[in-house]
Chains A and B, each alone.
Chain A
Amino acid sequence: MLMKVLGWLPWILTAAVLLACANGQVRSVAQVGISTLRQRLGAASVVVVGIAGVVGVLVALLAMAQGFQATLQETGSNDTAIVLRSGSQTEINSALDHAATVVIGDEPQVQHDAQGRPIASPELVVVASLPKKGSSTDANVEVRGIGQDAWALRTRVRMVSGRRFTPGLRELIVGARAAKEFEHTELGSKIDLGGQPWTVVGVFDSGDEHDSELWGDADVVASAYRRGDGRNSVTVRLKSPQQLDAFKAALASDPRFKVDASTTLDYYSRQSDLLTRTIRILGTTVAIIMAIGAIFGALNTMYAAVASRTREIATLRAMGFRGGPVVVSVLIETLLLAIAGGVIGAVIAWALFDHYTASTLGANFSQVVFEFRVTPALLAGGLKWALAIGLVGGLFPALRAARMPVTEGLREL
């Protein structure tokens, strides 16, 4: 609750300061200050660039966290569930024998398709090593062996080019992001998997984590990796999200196997938690330290600005202007510089990093390719930081301007 109020504070205070412009005295004092800004461009740019730096770095790092989290979370949904061997947190660590994969699909909570068959996809996950584009080293890429039902479960998937693989053949389709990151992923190229050559026949796009994967026929992948008829996971479509508990209970009561089920949304969210949190902590820490530096820069600039206008402010006071309008006018000037800095920083971060592609090692021990996402919420957050820095950096110089003894001020050169 307290954090929420604090979060709104920069907006509220800025709004209050700007509203004060309705007052004629405030407006005229502020106008004088702003009209002389051009003569102090060098000093003013310190505030602008300092704040732009903070906002740019903050928004860029948070956009990385946002992009990674969104990529994983969008992979999952509430009405599909993934079944893994009990104790395994990821598909690559899990193993289910053939009997289990059949029984899981037969549970009554599983949705059936138009032909009356359960929508349940036993899938195989193996890791292959492929050279990364623009680098001499290999990186891990996830190869997913799927059956027919996988298509019914991943409705977002569409073919961008080429065609689907033919069941029974050593053919692969490549996720759009994997195609961007790895060599040998063009249509018609050969990839060595399990010591055998596979042909790339299509590129698919799903906009989520699957885009980092290579897909092939589960039976053929299994034979290449000598995995028999066991599988890593079974993903099913539930009749409704509310059926999850019943589904889990049904699986738990079966003595033939020990498995755990969770919604795919849950499964993929869990995988993004640690990295997302780490990046957010890193980004906020860096931004706080940079903000401290920027605040002192703003203080310097604004104290100098006030000092250079000593005589003018004293004259205004002598004419009967009160202290309040002087305080507010200095604050307005700082806030305008801060807003300029915030906008510049946010625009730079957006221009450079929105849709910037990066990859990291994901839970399945293979590359997850994701795009930075600079969302409106992140931009607003960056602007809020800018305003907060402006308020703190402007307040003390503003107070000094208002407290200045008029007689001494008039004598200043």
Chain B
Amino acid sequence: MKYLSLIWSTLFRRKTRTLFTIFSVIAAFLLFGLLDSVRGAFANVGHNVAGASRLITISKQSLVVSLPTSLLMRIQAVPGVSAVTYANWFGGYYQEPKNQLVTEAVPQNYFTLYPEFVLPAAELRSFHDVRTGAIVGQSLAQRFNWKLGDKIPIQATIFPQKGGSNTWMFDIVGIYHVSDPNLKAEENQLYFNWDYFDQATQFGGGTAGWYIERVAQPKQADRVARAIDAISANSDHETKTQSEDAFTAAFVSQFADIGLIVGSIMGAVFFTLILLTGNTMAQAVRERIPELAILKTIGFSNRSVLSLVLAESVLLLAIGGAVGLAIAAVAVSGIRAKLGPQIPMLPVGTQAWLRGVALMIAIGLVVGALPARRGMRLRIVDALSGR
């Protein structure tokens, strides 16, 4: 620590060069912060504490094939299942086709299985009482400026009403929010009464898209899942039950291998960065050979010279990296504020900072290694005489 001022002054000995290098490091870590936030959003889907005790049952054929509602009672009777609900995908859009919505028809007990959706008790009661009632997430409500009591027309894309009309009217009776900032994307759904759907739809009524079960003991989840699937074995509606995490992870992986894309970009970025900062460090040490020789003459050990150079390159990376990640953090929260939390970007949190700092130190050591070795190995006599 006592050498910090020495390291600092050698680092900024050539101000322009160091600043330019720092700008490159900033760019690299800005990119790291942004991409890591995207990767995190996809990796994070479905990973929440409440989800650990939930199972999802879908048709074995595929998610778009619905299941008979008669399964409800039989699943409820499976030992280890403490609650069951179901949902039907509805979809639809508001005003224009580009405003596609995540809309589901759900029975009244749905929200008891989703305690992460925070909803005033009075609003939940009116969901029970109003047939055309709908409960929407706070982010979704803000996006379209919906308030409690609003009547909103939603255009169906799959299910027309019995008269042939595609317009479904809903009364907003509740607005829920999600406290965990990493799960804000869950605030983009609209839920409405399954009974309304069942009575008004031209087709698709009397079925459940998928079932959601809460297991009393998460440890027994596998056994319970097998017992649920056994109910429909060899019937014409065989089911597949898995944990909510596994279900969502499989679903997300169908979009793209986000990890691979982000990984390849970051690989290219950091390879370039290592070369670039390595070149700067090599230049810096080359110019300073006589100075390093003097340090050795006045008693600095080989090891201290090595550490001084390594510390300098780590410091270079740390300054640029910290600034870059800080800019990324500001940018991500700006983007989230502007476009809403449905954008797949997680806030830059402790985890991202830890990964970033680890990268800064690792890259700093890698690019400092060769120049530092050169400094350590120099022979005082040769260096002082400029050979």
Q: A residues bordering B, Cβ < 8 Å?
A: 42-43, 45-46, 49-50, 53, 56-57, 60-61, 85-90, 92-93, 95, 126-129, 135, 137-140, 193-195, 225-226, 258, 285-286, 289-290, 292-294, 296-297, 299-301, 303-304, 358, 360-361, 365, 367
Contacts and interface: CB of A to CB of B under 8 A. Distances in A.
Contact of A286 (B20, B31, B97): B31
B18 to A, nearest CB: 9
B31 A290 contact: yes
Q: Which 10 A-B pairs rank lowest in CB-CB distance, beginning with the nearest?
A: A293-B27, A53-B272, A87-B166, A293-B24, A296-B23, A296-B20, A127-B62, A93-B158, A297-B276, A137-B250
Interface string B232-273: 000010100000000000100111110000001100110111
Given A289-B30, A293-B273, A127 B64 contact: yes
A382 to B, nearest CB: 13
B272 A42 contact: no
B156 interface: yes
Interface in B1-48: 16-17, 20-21, 23-28, 30-31, 34-35
Nearest to A297: B276
Contacts of A126: 62, 64-65
Contacts of B264: 60
B27 A289 contact: yes
B255 A360 contact: yes
B155 interface: yes
B280 A300 contact: yes
A191 B206 CA distance: 29
A360 B27 contact: no
A290 B25 CA distance: 10
| A46, A61, A139, A225: most-surrounded residue (chain B CB, <10 A) | A46
A53 B272 CA distance: 7
Given A129-B62, A296-B23, A358 B256 contact: yes
Nearest to A56: B268
A303 B31 contact: no
Given A87-B157, A304-B283, A293 B276 contact: yes
Nearest to A139: B254
Given A46-B275, A129-B61, A303-B16, 19 more contacts: A49-B272, A53-B272, A85-B160, A87-B157, A90-B157, A126-B62, A127-B62, A127-B65, A140-B254, A289-B27, A293-B24, A293-B26, A293-B28, A293-B272, A293-B276, A294-B272, A300-B20, A304-B283, A360-B254
B272 A195 contact: no
B279 interface: yes
A7 B60 CA distance: 52
B164 interface: yes
Contacts of B253: 135, 137, 139
A57 B250 contact: no
Contacts of B28: 293
Nearest to A293: B27
Nearest to A282: B38
25 contacts: A42-B279, A49-B276, A50-B272, A50-B275, A53-B268, A60-B264, A87-B166, A93-B157, A129-B60, A129-B62, A129-B63, A140-B254, A194-B61, A225-B61, A285-B34, A286-B265, A290-B27, A293-B25, A296-B27, A297-B20, A300-B20, A300-B276, A301-B279, A304-B17, A365-B64
Interface residues of B, number: 51
A165 to B, nearest CB: 20
Contact of B61 (A45, A128, A139, A293): A128
A57 B31 CA distance: 13
B250 to A, nearest CB: 4
A213 to B, nearest CB: 14
Interface in B183-200: none
A87 B62 CA distance: 24
A89 B62 contact: no
Of B27, B28, B166, B253, the most chain A CB neighbours within 10 A belong to: B27
A296 B18 CA distance: 10
Nearest to A87: B166
A293 B324 CA distance: 11
A46 B31 contact: no
A193 to B, nearest CB: 8
Given A95-B203, A138-B250, A46 B63 contact: no
B91 interface: yes
Nearest to A143: B62
A143 B49 CA distance: 37
A259 B135 CA distance: 31
B282 interface: yes
A195 B265 contact: no
B20 A195 contact: no
Contact of A140 (B34, B63, B164, B272): B63
A57 B160 contact: no
A93 to B, nearest CB: 4
A92 to B, nearest CB: 7
Interface string B83-101: 0000000010000010000
B297 to A, nearest CB: 23
Nearest to B237: A195
A61 B265 CA distance: 9
A89 B276 CA distance: 49
B187 to A, nearest CB: 21
Contacts of A304: 17, 283
